[in-house]
Amino acid sequence: MTPQQKKIRKLLREKQGILLAHYYVRPEIQEIADVLGDSLALARAAAASDAKVIVFAGVHFMAQSAAILSPEKTVLLPRLDAGCPLADAATVESVRLMREKEPEALFVTYINSSAEVKALSDVCCTSSNALQIVNNQPAGKKIVMLPDGNLARHTSSVTGREVIAWEGCCPVHQALTPQEVIALKQEFPEAPFAAHPECRPDVLALADFVGSTSAILKFARESGARTIIIGTEAGILDKLRKDSPDKQFVLASEALLCADMKKITLDDIEKSLITMQPAVTVSRKISRAAKKTLDRMLSLSS
């Protein structure tokens, strides 16, 4: 550990805090996290932790979910401007309009969404459990999935359920093209292609495996392949290489870089632990309604 990493660990001990980090954040932060995980694992960790303070190294909706699941804790997001353009694709007004248009439908909302939008939904999901959550809904019930249209279409095609797909997307995963994947498949003909469900349908059609960040890590650990083409954000490469140092991982596109996930630095975390700012809070009314949808997700997924 560097002196700064040690200092942050010491501050965390002093404040009775834990550091939760997503696989896309800077590697020097991943190295010192108490929990490194995908959105589902981080939400579970936030709900289960008995720490007084949660420092979130991720983006705003993740810290907000932690604050909703653990209202008695202080949740710090060292850079409040670390947002998620996909989460911004569903506004309260647009979801209200859709609910009026589809009054019978169940609204399954990706965790990449605001607290207010979660509060207007029936159940949340992540890319780890979307199939399970949708399969759990009563047969014949109309389902609206928001805000990620690609995840919605993928979930519909795997489960066979009719799903009304919202038109949002993650600009990072959307930037990966089938042409890039085809070129890499020609260069590495033996290499399987593992993709995140936020990728475009024509990219997912080329995938040998589709799953969340932690599912991609598991696939890579268990695969017999020497080389694997990766269709998700670049930050996952460090963990992939740590888990499987004997394998080669090829990022499918240089565009797979989430600027928001890279905003938080060790300096920001240190400052945040000293000042105990900026904290993410959610009003009690919104938090109570949003927690129901998150709790429903946690109880439905294994």
Q: What is the DSSP string of 144-193?
A: EEESBHHHHHHHHHHH---EEEPSB--HHHHT--HHHHHHHHHHSTT--E
Which of 119, 122, 90, 83 has the alpha carbon at shortest distance from 106?
122
Which residue, 1, 22, 21, 27, is CA-closest to 241?
27
By CB under 6 A, is residue 238 in contact with ligand 13P?
Answer: no
280 binds ligand SF4 (CB under 6 A): no
Q: Are 168 and 145 in contact (CB under 8 A)?
A: no
Q: How far is the CB of 88 from ligand SF4 (least distance, A)?
A: 9
> Least distance from C-beta 249 to ligand SF4, angstroms?
17
Residue 97 CB, nearest approach to ligand 13P (Å)? 25
272 is an interface residue for ligand 13P by CB under 6 A: no
Which span sits near ligand 13P by CB under 6 A: 1-9, 113-121, 122-130, 238-246?
122-130
Closer CB to ligand 13P, 49 or 128, in the complex: 128
260 binds ligand 13P (CB under 6 A): no
Residues numbered 160 to 199 that lie near ligand SF4 (CB under 6 A) are 170, 172, 198
Would you count residue 287 as binding ligand 13P (CB under 6 A)?
A: no
Task: Name which of 51 and 169 has its Cβ closer to ligand SF4.
Answer: 169
Counting contacts by CB under 6 A, is residue 111 touching ligand SF4?
Answer: no
Measuring CA to CA, how many Å separate 256 from each of 83, 172, 177?
Answer: 16, 5, 11
Distance CA 176, CA 199 (A): 7
Q: Contact with ligand SF4 (CB under 6 A): which of 85, 168, 211, 231?
A: 85
Q: How far apart are CA 77 and CA 55, in angstroms?
A: 6
Q: How many CA atoms lie within 13 A of 181 on its CB side?
A: 26
- Supply the minimum distance, in Å, between the C-beta of residue 172 and ligand SF4: 4
Least separation, in Å, of the C-beta of 261 and ligand SF4?
A: 5
* Nearest distance, CB of residue 126 and ligand 13P, angstroms: 5
Helices 236-243, 213-222: axis angle to 10 degrees equals 30
**Residue 127 is a binding residue for ligand 13P (CB under 6 A):** yes
Residues 28-47 touching ligand SF4, rule: CB under 6 A, are none
- The two beta strands, 123-125 and 74-76, are unpaired
Strand order in the sheet with 193-195: 209-210, 193-195, 227-231, 248-251
Interacting residues toward ligand SF4 by CB under 6 A: 59, 84-86, 112, 170, 172, 198, 233, 258, 260-261
Residues forming the site for ligand 13P (CB under 6 A)? 38-39, 112, 126-128, 170, 198, 212-213
